[in-house]
Amino acid sequence: VMQVAMSAATHSSRPLSVRVSREKECADNSIVEPMSPTGRVMEELGVCIVVVIGLGTPVNLPVFRAGIETELLTRFPRFRSIQVMDESTNNSKPRWVQTPVNMDDHIVVPRLDPEADPEKAVEDYVASLSLLPMDRRRPLWEFHFLDFPSSEAASTVVLRLHHSIGDGTSITTLLMASSRSTADPARVPAMPPPPKRTGAIYQREPRPRLSSGDYLALLAWFWSYVVLAWHTLVDVTMIVATILFLSDPRTLFTRADGVEPRTRKRFVHRTLSFDDVKLVKTAMNCVHY
């Protein structure tokens, strides 16, 4: 069982300020690396990703620790880099600088009340992670191991890392690619086959055959692209207007009194039946593909 959620820490701090010499940067390009524009935006927002993984067995901490060291730290420089501001130039820019990693700073085994409800204990702990700031003096990731059973897992692993390292999809794919089969440690886990897209929406309509006098079909084909461009422009305009001044349309999920709750939000995990999802889709008048 794997869940991915995003949160913004309440206390955000700027990257560390250092002076990086050009000689050091040219000697080893892997030590100092400019931060991408997307990484800069995520750094400004202070957004973190929280990945919740349910395990079928109790946590084997030595195996996890060895896997993190061999798979993540060795193969991916982001997991051994910190964000700094390069002040060696007039216009300071954020950069990635590799640094030694102390695994004890990134592996957390909390002590929770054994008499507490396991489901609520996991939810409360994951919710608390979204409010804690990350220490920018070390790489912005950490694993939390909750070694007690719940209704759906024998133990739970929570990964919290800064969004500038990657997004939810890439991190989930990275974790799957870094794991190994218990029966054969040299074999990667088998991935489910891609779905067969046989519905009518995936069937490409043949382009109308043009003849010397069939200009109407050519006009209809061109007009379809004009309509597509117009609808795209309208959708983008409505999104921008909603962000700036328009209010969201009322749906079945809107509060009856129209007032947003001011209480602190939290992560809640529930297993849903696919039939219930279809029921919500029908009630919301959504299109099903």
Q: Which of the residues are catalytic?
A: 163
DSSP E strands, 9-63:
16-18, 32-34, 47-55
Handedness of CA 99, 100, 105, 109 (dihedral sign): positive
What's the DSSP call for residue 70?
Answer: I
The two structure tokens encoding residue 222: 């061109």
124 burial via Cβ count (<10 Å: 0-12, 13-18, 19+): middle
Q: How many CB atoms lie within 10 A of CB 141?
A: 22
Q: How far apart are CA 22 and CA 126, in angstroms?
A: 42
- Beta-bridge mates of residue 68: none
Instruction: Identify residue 285 by its one-letter amino acid code.
Output: N
Q: How far apart are CA 285 and CA 278, in angstroms?
A: 10
Tell me if 48 sits within 8 A of 161, measured CB to CB.
Answer: yes
Tell me if 39 sits within 8 A of 46, measured CB to CB.
Answer: no
